Structure 1
């Protein structure tokens, strides 16, 4: 994507300074951050190495596997399905995927999928990370799963099931896999091919950043009360660097450049991908309650948690996006028309870097901050 930064020099300078500081201090090893303001690229900073083994440097064109931050791409495809008339938010999943109605799930709708209220937050226990590359096997297992609550009555983070739920509905509605829809509906029209992926072509694998764990992964501890399996809850560099995982279409996670995914959200904000009425609908509060997986208070739009990391509650209605395990972060703000993305190589158990960069961005782009 050949695009130069429209200079908001103080923002660009501050973002670059923070990235350089974090790498110099050893807190991070490789990062990207990108910011669009009213459709213009106003921040595009990188620092450090994409691969510590070779010393290859991060550039704006380096894609990063960014775990659940990729759900912004999945969710957008769902909204584009609605925009095209393939289905509506209240279309029952079984209208397209009859097998999904097993065990009382026949009332589940796309709205329930997007608000993580279907009731199948965890992968069936016979599905492990190695099975994620087998689309039919995973979808069959999810279709046959017993819901942990009646669809639409509670919410709980659907970590890996989310992408397969959206993806199978999309496949049955269009006859196309998610990677193809992402290319045809998003990257090709926006001119950002090579920036966003569900399943990375093998020829592009050498371009990717190589992830690293911030500390040795602790041994798995059995928790009889945990809904998600340990591998669903804890990101690992081994998963994110796996050739098989990277090549597979797994729309619960995604690979992207910060600049590419921020460009995508900028296009959603300014009407190039969805119109203003749909944008208003999809960013309104759609479900609020206690997350059954993590126990926190959840405030969800259609497919996105609402609110910016570290923001005051009065900002919650205008910002939407996704964090990714290990510290990556993507958000957009309908009030300021700002789109932000940050991704990195070092997987940390916190979002300190994301919050620091997002705070800087909000302060520079929101005159009322």
Structure 2
């Protein structure tokens, strides 16, 4: 079911509202640079950008463009999730299959029965990384797959959910590689971004020719928030056990990190991310990534309640988070947010997709931009289901 009001009138109302707000946020200095994109019923209703890349010492800030690539951290988990579901629809992967069926080495240390479903729902029990891991090791695929295969679960798989901030990417990415014979980045291009026509705007690791299109990020309060986490906090203790692994502008601006195939993260444009979610809700220029039945299943609540790592209550589908604050708390919305405030999601009840990338990283009470902009759009697009 789609809206009666379509095309040009949608474009005008949404584009004006979003454009005004984005310009105000950047001109006031509250934001450095933003890209925002909105699709309704498979058509792009707005693609707005303003501001610059982050300010880095000795480098003049570069104006943000529609095709500027912005590293958006865990927003990329939504791309990985989509890739897994596309492979499942093709019969190449089964949710209930043990990961060790595809990747035998992963079955070590009590993980022989851990399934793809456990990985997608963050219930596998292996969110932890070695305390002395370096950024260079983080960027080495074979090293990290060896580390992850040798992890012992902190809890029995399936008995609790706790955010697998980094390990989500290698667990599912190596599973994809074993199945397809393609690196995660190549598989994303083959099965998702290529068919959508955004292969040059959506990446895990950047090819050499695209590194120059990635704008630098800068810190707002995000690094300081990570630094103030108690060392006993599960996220600090397990997911980012040393500062070299913190999801900060310093890490995101490293060329070796940007080039690394890391399916826990993504570098993208807002318009490409919004297009992906639009193609999960319906056709976009004749392309639909998944049938409605598959999306309904994957975006239904799979686990709900206290997250052992994030220490809050969350609803999760198969790989996507549901009803986050920027989504208005609506369980009909599914997607993923990234460290520092980026986000991309779909609203099944409105036929709406929304994506925001930003070049200044903020969190906590200062992280209001995605919620503000999504709230500007939502009233303009009535529910259709």
Q: TM-score range by the shorter chain?
A: over 0.9
Matched residue of 1:56: which SS?
coil
1:243 to 255, 258, 272: 255
CA RMSD of superposed structures (Å): 2.0
> How far off is 1:322 after superposition?
0.8
**What is the CA deviation profile of residues 110-133 of structure 1, one whole-angstrom value per residue up to 9, with x for unaligned ones?**
110000000001223343332121
SS of the residue 1:57 aligns to:
coil
How many angstroms does 1:367 deviate by? 4.7
What corresponds to 1:188 in structure 2? 194
1:269 aligns with 2:281: yes
Could you tell me how far 1:233 is from its partner in structure 2?
8.0
1:83 paired residue number: 89
Bigger mean CA offset, 110-119 vs 356-365: 356-365
The alpha-carbon deviation at position 305 of structure 1 amounts to: 0.9
Q: Please, what TM-score do these two structures have when normalized by structure 2?
A: 0.89
Q: For residues 257-313 of structure 1, give each alpha carbon's deviation from its aligned partner in whole angstroms, at most 9, with x where no partner exists.
A: 000111111111115111111111101111112100121112110001111425565
Please give the residue correspondences for 1:53-68 in structure 2 after superposition, counting only pairs within 5 Å.
53-68=59-74
Structure 2: gaps (5+ residues): 1-6
Residue 209 of structure 2 aligns to a residue whose secondary structure is helix
1:44 to 33, 38, 47: 47
Match of 1:29 in 2: 32
Cα deviations across residues 218-257 of structure 1 (Å, max 9, x unaligned)? 4576613533325488431111111000011011100000
Which residue does the alignment assign to 2:4? none
1:363 lines up with 2:369 in the alignment: no
**TM (normalized to structure 1)?**
0.93
1:301 — aligned with what?
317
Q: 2:3 aligns to what? A: none
Distance 1:310 1:198 in 2: 23
Q: How many residues align?
A: 363
Deviation at 1:368, TM superposition (A): 8.2
1:123 aligns with 2:126: no
**Following TM superposition, by how much is the alpha carbon of 1:206 offset from its aligned partner in structure 2, in angstroms?**
1.5
Listed as ranges, the matches of 1:157-306 within 5 Å are: 157-215=163-221, 217-218=223-224, 223-226=231-234, 227-228=238-239, 229-231=241-243, 234-270=246-282, 272-306=288-322
SS at match of 1:104: coil
Per mean C-alpha deviation after superposition, the further-off stretch among 222-231 and 280-289 is 222-231
Work out whether 1:112 is the aligned partner of 2:118.
Answer: yes
Q: Deviations over 1:14-70 (max 9, x none)?
A: 111111111111111110000000100001111101254334211111110001111
Does the aligned pair in 2 maintain the 1:156–1:291 contact within 8 Å?
Answer: yes
Alpha-carbon distance between aligned partners in 1 of 2:61 and 2:266, rounded to the nearest angstrom: 24
CA contact (8 A) 1:332 1:340 kept: yes
